[in-house]
Structures are given as C-alpha cells and as structure tokens.
C-alpha cells in the first residue's frame, strides 16, 4: 500500500496546490471557473476522444460489468435515499444526497489517476463507469428533483435530461471516439498530435481545478457530510465489489478498475446540480471537501487492494 500511496501523492499534491492558490486569492474564483471550463470542454474531451478512438465498443461494453456496477451503485443510492427520507427530508433533498453517495469524480480525477496507476487497460472500464454515472444516475436525480416539484414526471423533464446528455462533452467525446474506431477512420498524424498535446493538459489542469474549487467549499454540517462521505468512500466500493466479484463474476482486472472508480471522492458536478436547483448546496459542498480529504488515504488503500486481484 505504501508504494501505491506514494504514487497517488503527486495527484493530491496538485489538488493541494490548486487549493492553496485559491485560498491565498492568487487564483480567483473567476480563474477557477475558466480553468474548469477549459479542462471540461477541451483538454479532458480531447483525452477521452483519443482514448475512445483507439478502442472498439466490444472492448468497452461488457453487460456483466455494467450490471455489476449498476446494481452495486443502485443499492447504495437507495440506502442514502431511505436514510434521508427517514430523517424527514424531501424527495429532492434525498435525491441529491443519494447522488452525493454514489457519483465519484471519475472525469477529473479517475481517468488520469486510474489509467496511470492501473494501466491503459483501465480506459474502457473507467469510461463505462462514467457513462453509467452520467446517463442513468445523473438523469435519475434530475428527474426526481423536478418530478417532486411538479408533482409528476412529464416529457419536458425527459427532454431536459436528454439535451443535458447531448451537450455533455464527456458523452460526446466517448461517442465520437467510438464512431471513429468503429468505422476504422484514420486520424491524421497532425490531428493525433494536436489531441495528444491538448489532452496532456487534462491531468494537471483537472487536478489543479479540483483543488481551487475546494477552496470555495464550506465545511458546515459535518455530521451529514461525514455520513455521505462514508457512503461514497466506504459503502459504494464495498457493494460494487460484492456485485462485481461474487454476483456477476466480472473479470478480475475490470472488476478492480470498477471498484477503484467507486472509491473516488464526490464529484464536483453534483454541487453544480445542487446549486442549479437550489437543493442542499452547502451540504454537498461539505461532502465534496470531506470526501476528497479522506480519500487521500482510503483511495490508496482500495487501489492497493484491487491490484492484488
């Protein structure tokens, strides 16, 4: 585990650098917003497209993998939802807390870290995890929030969800990359080099942006943040591991990548949704800060364990 921990240190050091830069006001909130936009729409999209263009759909899609991750994640989603309802929260708040409990920072942290630590073979499984998170669980939360407010689920909600997916550069990059791969379209050398250079900015840019965004997060309501962080860093990888290894019998390497992805801290886009709909943004903010801080140790431990698989 010590070797894995040392390998993860540079990643969290970059996050810490971004945090310090923002806390000291050297990096303003506006600068953080623009850096995040650059990484999200350009650098990370280029990295994902380049990865996907060199894979086939058969290398990415595995029904047992999808079912294992889906059911393991859904179980934790339901646990978090029931606990929130038991505490007397609304359906909208429960949906947000449930998303906090299962949506990890796969795009900004997971892709660069897991590919480097677990090898290039991790690309396909990580993309599948990202797709399930965005397409199903992200959409489910939006449907529950808007449906609880309107009293029913109508076509307007589904249209909003569909447009959100179409406009998501991560989904677009995966689809376009697989199309290039599926049709065996050659990528000209200058274009490939362009994508490599632009994609190379994704890892340092994303990690720095994570840290800078954490500087603006609140640490209020630590009891709830602690519970949600426990769900994300403890229960989520546990139930995903049970589903992958013992129920669906996923191939060990892919199962290991899936479990490591489930152990990632809460994603920043959960806060964006909470803030957009005005549902518990402070609670989400605290969970992101707490889970990211604790994951320095827990994530190293999980990665060290899955490498034995």
81-140 residue pLDDT tens: 999 999 999 988 999 999 999 999 998 888 889 988 898 889 889 999 998 998 889 888
Residue-averaged pLDDT of the chain = 88
Burial of 64 (0-12, 13-18, 19+ CB in 10 A): middle
Whether 246 shows a pLDDT value over 80: the answer reads yes
Q: Where are the domains of the chain?
A: 2-306
Whether 144 shows a pLDDT value over 90: the answer reads no
- DSSP-derived 3-state class of residue 265: coil
Q: Mean pLDDT over residues 255-267, rounded? A: 96
The Cα-based distances of 94 to 262, 280, 293 in angstroms read 20, 10, 24
Residue 220: the pLDDT is: 62
Most confident of 126-140, 165-179, 233-247: 233-247
Q: Mean pLDDT over residues 260-270, rounded? A: 92
Residue carrying structure tokens 């307007």: 156
Residue 298: the pLDDT is: 94
pLDDT digits (tens, 9 = 90+) for 11-46: 899 999 999 999 999 999 999 999 989 998 999 899
CA pseudo-torsion sign 112, 113, 114, 117: positive
pLDDT category of residue 305 using cuts at 50, 70 and 90: very high
Burial of 24 (0-12, 13-18, 19+ CB in 10 A): exposed
Residue 169: the pLDDT is: 84
Residue 139: the pLDDT is: 83
Residue 240: the pLDDT is: 98
Residue 153: the pLDDT is: 54
CB atoms within 10 A of CB 166: 10
Q: Mean pLDDT over residues 139-155, rounded? A: 71
- The gap from C-alpha 147 to its chain's centroid, in whole angstroms, comes to 24
**According to the CATH classification, is domain 2-306 in 1.20.1530.20?**
yes
Residue 221: the pLDDT is: 66
Q: Mean pLDDT over residues 150-160, rounded? A: 61
């Amino acid at each position: 585990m010590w070797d894995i921990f040392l390998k993860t240190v540079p990643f969290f050091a970059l996050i810490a650098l971004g945090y310090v830069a923002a806390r000291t006001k050297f990096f303003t909130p506006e600068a953080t917003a623009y850096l995040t936009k650059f990484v999200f729409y350009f650098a990370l999209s280029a990295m994902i497209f380049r990865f996907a263009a060199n894979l086939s759909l058969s290398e990415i899609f595995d029904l047992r993998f999808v079912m294992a991750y889906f059911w393991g994640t859904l179980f934790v989603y339901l646990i978090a939802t029931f606990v929130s309802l038991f505490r007397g929260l609304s359906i909208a708040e429960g949906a947000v807390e449930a998303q906090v409990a299962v949506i990890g920072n796969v795009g900004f942290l997971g892709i660069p870290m897991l590919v480097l630590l677990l090898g290039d073979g991790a690309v396909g499984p990580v993309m599948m995890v990202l797709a399930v998170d965005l397409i199903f669980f992200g959409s489910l939360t939006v449907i529950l929030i808007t449906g609880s407010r309107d009293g029913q689920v109508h076509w307007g909600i589904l249209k909003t969800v569909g447009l959100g997916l179409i406009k998501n550069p991560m989904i677009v990059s995966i689809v376009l990359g697989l199309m290039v791969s599926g049709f065996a379209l050659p990528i000209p050398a200058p274009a490939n080099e362009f994508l490599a250079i632009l994609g190379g900015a994704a890892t340092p840019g994303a990690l720095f942006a994570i840290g800078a965004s954490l500087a603006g997060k609140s640490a209020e309501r630590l009891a709830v943040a602690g519970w949600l962080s426990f769900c994300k860093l403890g229960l989520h990888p546990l139930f995903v591991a049970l589903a992958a290894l013992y129920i669906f019998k996923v191939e060990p390497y892919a199962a290991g990548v899936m479990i490591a992805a489930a152990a990632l801290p809460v994603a920043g886009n959960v806060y964006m949704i909470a803030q957009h709909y005005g549902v518990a943004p402070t609670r989400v903010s605290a969970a992101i800060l707490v889970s990211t801080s604790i994951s320095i140790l827990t994530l190293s431990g999980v990665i060290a364990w899955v490498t034995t698989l």
